Amino acid sequence: MNDTIIIFIMEIVGTVAFAVSGSLVAVKGSLDLFGVIFVGCVTAVGGGISRDILMGRFPPAIFSNTFFLAIAAVTCVLAFVFSYLRRKSFTDFRRRLEVVNNFFDAIGLAAFTVTGVESAITYEFSNYPVFAISAGVLTGIGGGIIRDVLVDKTPYVLRKHIYALASAIGGCLYFYTRIYLNKTVAVFISVGIIILIRILATKFHWKLPKVIVEE
CB neighbourhood size of 28 (10 A) = 16
Residue 209's pLDDT band, with cuts at 50, 70 and 90, is: confident
* 132-165 residue pLDDT tens: 999 999 999 999 999 999 998 888 787 766 899 9
For the four alpha carbons of 42, 70, 17 and 84, in that order, the dihedral sign comes to: positive
Residue 103 pLDDT > 80: yes
Closest to 143 (Cα-Cα) out of 116, 161, 121, 125: 116
Q: What is the mean pLDDT of the chain?
A: 90
Return d(Cα 21, Cα 178) in angstroms, integer: 29
Q: What is the pTM of this model?
A: 0.91
Contacting residues for 84 by C-beta, under 8 A, at least 6 apart = none
Residue % of the chain over a pLDDT of 90: 62
Determine which helix (DSSP H) or strand (DSSP E) holds 147, and give its type and residue range.
helix 129-150
